[in-house]
Chains A and B, each alone.
Chain A
Amino acid sequence: MPVLKADFTLCQGYANCVDGAPDVYDIDDDGVVVLLRDRITDEERPRIEEAVRSCPVSALHIEDE
């Protein structure tokens, strides 16, 4: 099952991910990404891949477990 990862030290709060996939990403009061869940299905992967690639600092990744 694909697993979502985030590098919280890289995140700059640009928030494109929240726009692309608001069901899995949010931004906290400090402007850092929050993973609302870390496991996604293969069906939703394409949409979330696009949210991942919308991160200007490449702080987001999808890994296979």
Chain B
Amino acid sequence: MTGTVVVVGSSIGGVRTAQALRSEGFDGRVVLVGADATAPYDKPPLSKQFLSGDWDEARVGLLASEEADRLGIELRLGVAAGRLDVAARQVILADGTALDYDSVVVATGASARPSPWRPRSGVHVIRTLEDSRRLRTALGSEGPVVVVGGGFIGAEVAGTARALGHEVTVVDPLPTPIGRVVGPEVGRYFSELHHRHGVQTRFGTGVEAVDGEAGNLQVRLTDGSLLDAATVVVGIGAVPNDGWLADSGVPIDNGVLCDQYSRAVDAPDVYAIGDVARWFHPGHREHMRVEHWTNAVEQGACAAHNIAHPEDLRPYRPVEYVWSDQYDWKIQIVGRPTVGTRFEIVGDLAGDKPRAAVLYTDETSRLRGAVTVNWPKALVTSRRAVTDGASFDDTLAKISAVAARPAPADPAARSA
């Protein structure tokens, strides 16, 4: 297929869509537009290896200009998309340039939900390379760190700040923040993980105000208590970057409303993928917006296929998958644990070197979701089982059998 595809957004979803168009045999023009002037970069390390200083900017790069050249991807970086003209099939950039398209892929992602607390300085969010760089600089100074938000980003930043030697307190209005994802009973193990690493938690408590300035902040909590902080990090979720489409006529409802092929409703030349897309999941029979790395990659590949092969449209019906690296836990979550009405734990979630899988089921008796800790093999088994609609009992038996094998060798002892 020929023509021009304009991909708007140069983060993981946009980059992978552009690359996938070539894998799918699309031989027309591919233009990748990015508001960020920096070469495309990957975001998971921004709360971990990049934030700690272990990785540099080169290590988080997603698409070197040589590879873009090789694949014939035209980069238009440093200029945001200003608006979309569906009738004229044009993306109008903020500098006034109009880009004609035959198909456009909206991959503008999401932004960190801004902090509602605005002292003079010292409050950070973390989403972009620049955010991470600024926070890294702030963490170079001594003093306690307060993290507002006990979700994945908050927990990862807390772990990184702690490893850099800071006193850290995580505040969240929910009694077990990760419980939103894994259920409250399992969520409490995640709270203990903080404590085991010397991080304080103030869960079930909100933030009333943040006063002062960088190096000398006071965080006032809803129970009246005060926390001193040199730096405050606010990780309270993200909002889709769909504002630039407001006058386009493309339907927006907390993300771009799409059909099961990731095409915007009533605008079939407009695709949306990743954090900014709210598409109809034909398996779950509902519209969903998912803010996970793997979803952006998989949905980008699916959209690229549909653009390159309009005669063979593929519905996008992924099994949810997300990982989070917190302290010494590699956490992997597949499917929908929160729809589970019953769960079983295989292995041990407490202790110094946990290796465990939590399997969730409901009245269907199928495996509906799983959470694994330091156990990728069990994740693979669970992910396949959720995909295949396998029974809970069979999966439990299979993973229990793997658990009974001798513990894995010390990685350091493995031959290279």
Q: Which residues of A contact B (CB under 8 A)?
A: 8-9, 12-16, 18-19, 22, 26-32, 45-46, 49-50, 53-54, 56
Contacts and interface: CB of A to CB of B under 8 A. Distances in A.
A15 B379 contact: yes
A15 B375 CA distance: 11
Interface in B287-323: 293-294, 297-298, 301, 321, 323
A56 B44 contact: yes
A45 B19 CA distance: 13
Size class of the B contact interface (CB-based, 8 Å): 20 to 34
Nearest to A9: B416
Contacts of A28: 377
B205 to A, nearest CB: 33
A15 B408 contact: no
A8 B380 CA distance: 17
Nearest to B25: A46
Contacts of B374: 31
A14 to B, nearest CB: 6
B411 A30 contact: yes
A14 B25 contact: no
B409 interface: yes
B330 A15 contact: no
B202 to A, nearest CB: 31
Contacts of B362: none
Contacts of A45: 23
A31 B297 CA distance: 22
A15 B298 contact: no
A22 B387 CA distance: 13
Interface centre among B293, B374, B377, B379, by most A CB within 10 Å?
B377
Contacts of A54: 294, 297-298, 301
B94 interface: no
A12 B20 contact: no
Given A12-B330, A14-B323, A15-B332, A31 B20 contact: no
A49 B42 CA distance: 18
B24 A46 contact: yes
B326 to A, nearest CB: 14
Interface centre among A15, A27, A46, A54, by most B CB within 10 Å?
A15
A30 B414 contact: yes
A31 B375 contact: yes
Contact of B20 (A14, A19, A53): A53
B383 A30 contact: no
A17 B298 CA distance: 11
Contacts of B375: 31
B402 interface: yes
Given A16-B294, A16-B297, A54-B294, A27 B376 contact: yes
A7 B298 CA distance: 22
A29 B380 CA distance: 11
Contacts of A26: 380
Contacts of B325: 12
Contacts of A27: 376-377, 379-380
Contacts of B297: 16, 53-54
Contacts of B414: 30, 32
B376 A13 contact: yes
A32 B410 CA distance: 12
Contacts of B402: 29
Contacts of A13: 330, 376, 379
A15 B293 contact: no
A22 B385 CA distance: 13
Interface string B1-43: 0000000000000001001100111000000000000000010
A8 B415 CA distance: 11
B23 A49 contact: yes
29 contacts: A8-B416, A9-B416, A12-B330, A13-B379, A15-B376, A15-B380, A16-B297, A16-B321, A19-B321, A19-B383, A26-B380, A27-B380, A29-B377, A29-B402, A29-B405, A30-B408, A30-B414, A31-B330, A31-B375, A45-B23, A46-B23, A46-B25, A49-B19, A53-B297, A53-B301, A54-B294, A54-B297, A54-B298, A56-B44
